[in-house]
Amino acid sequence: MKKKNRAIVLFFLALAAINAKDIYIPQDYPDIQTAIDNAFPFDRIIIDGGKHRGPLLIGIPLTIEGKEGTRPVIYKETNNNTISPLIMTGANIRVVLKNLTLSATAPETPLSSEAIGILAKDTNLSLENIDITGFYLYSLIQTGGSLSTTDTKLLTNPEWEIPIKGGFYLYGLSTINIDYMRSDLHEISTIIHIADKIPFKERLSLNTKPFITEPITGATVKLQESQNTPVSIVRIYGSRLLVPDKRDASAILITGKANIIMLDNYIYSIGDNRTKTSISPSAAIRIQNQAKLRIVKNRITDTPRALRIENTKSSVEISVEESSIINNNAGIEIINSPFVKLDLGGGELGSKGNNTLGNTYSDIKITGKLNNLPITAFNNTFKRKPVIIIDDSKEEKIENIIKTEEKPST
């Protein structure tokens, strides 16, 4: 019976997709929300260039895109009494946003800023050619569902450089695909956070009012944690990410369980960030939970740390190949995480090596016990002899920590 009901549902969804139509703004409706309210599932809303007032509440499968050759800006007037996203999407639907700029700043109040760009709950969300600018808490919060982004940019608010806490906060998603992302934000804390809990867990109210409210309706938004969050399958490709210029920052923070492949990315820092944050845990990539990470053809340079695994008793497997980890204050740090398995080439995780390493203070630093030694690092180029630091003192028998050449067979 369940299979029959599912087949009926799929039939009507397919029928709705076939009958989907295009809706034009402002020709058919004066504003985007009115078009959403009158749309049917799988319709496409096409927006002329210029500035369009939000917020938007989307409860059915839709595509919202800027007209070809234009770049519409969607913005929302600031409400200092509540925190409400510019765009909110509902559960169990697919939403596509395409060729748009989402702005935290309204033309009438250029020195104000909204807190959240997009709030997606159990949505299959697709972002294509989207610029997100100036949201001071998060550009995107997504709980559940899946995320696919192509050519998404996180940009500084052009009107006023407002401190920004985070970029993408992702909790409980099944799949995450991020292609060609760009972030130039110096003031952000984390660009991509694959999280193990909902945001604002400790803050449920603001001045005795609900902390987050739905756009349009004003209803309280309840973000609930799941007892069985999936291990997120993550792909990050072709992205250019600036490690934020502040303490305790990262381009990618992994506190939730995830299997990740990073392919052909460039992660970097500029200015004096490397030395200024050298005593803080800032890093290009930080891992604090169970994870499998494969790094292929990445360049990580001039950061406080390229990779930091810290304070986890969970299993962490990391394979690095054909990547350049150079000119960072430290290369790879493993802090109080005994079950880390690191393969830089020729190890059981399948790395082919061909990495280039050469960092200012250390290439590998280990604090606390590490069970999986020695680390294999065959077929790599070290700009100098590998610098290995163990509990802040130089280890005399480096061959017990890292193997850089295979012994000939006898």
Identify the residue whose tokens are 């180029």: 381
Whether the per-residue pLDDT at 68 is higher than 80: the answer is: yes
**pLDDT on residue 401:** 83
404 or 94: which leads in pLDDT: 94
Whether the per-residue pLDDT at 100 is higher than 50: the answer is: yes
Whether the per-residue pLDDT at 396 is higher than 90: the answer is: no
CA distance 343 to 348: 7
140 or 272: which leads in pLDDT: 140
Confidence band, pLDDT 50/70/90 cuts, at residue 20: confident
Q: For strand 393-394 and strand 388-390, is the pairing parallel, antiparallel, or unpaired?
A: antiparallel
The yes or no reply on domain 20-354 and CATH 2.30.170 is: no
**pLDDT on residue 408:** 43
Q: Look at residue 17 and give its three-state secondary structure.
A: helix
Identify the residue whose tokens are 């930080």: 286
Q: What is the mean pLDDT of residues 56-83?
A: 87
Q: What is the mean pLDDT of residues 73-80?
A: 76
**pLDDT on residue 163:** 52
At residue 121's C-alpha, the angle toward residues 136 and 189, to 5°, is 30
Whether the per-residue pLDDT at 409 is higher than 50: the answer is: no
377 or 220: which leads in pLDDT: 377
137 or 45: which leads in pLDDT: 45
**pLDDT on residue 135:** 84
The helix or strand, by DSSP H or E, that contains position 119, with its residue range, turns out to be strand 116-133
Domain locations along the chain: 20-354
Whether the per-residue pLDDT at 181 is higher than 90: the answer is: yes
CA distance 330 to 321: 18
**pLDDT on residue 297:** 98
Q: Look at residue 35 and give its three-state secondary structure.
A: helix
**pLDDT on residue 203:** 53
Would you call the peptide bond into 374 cis, given omega within 30 degrees of 0 as the criterion? yes
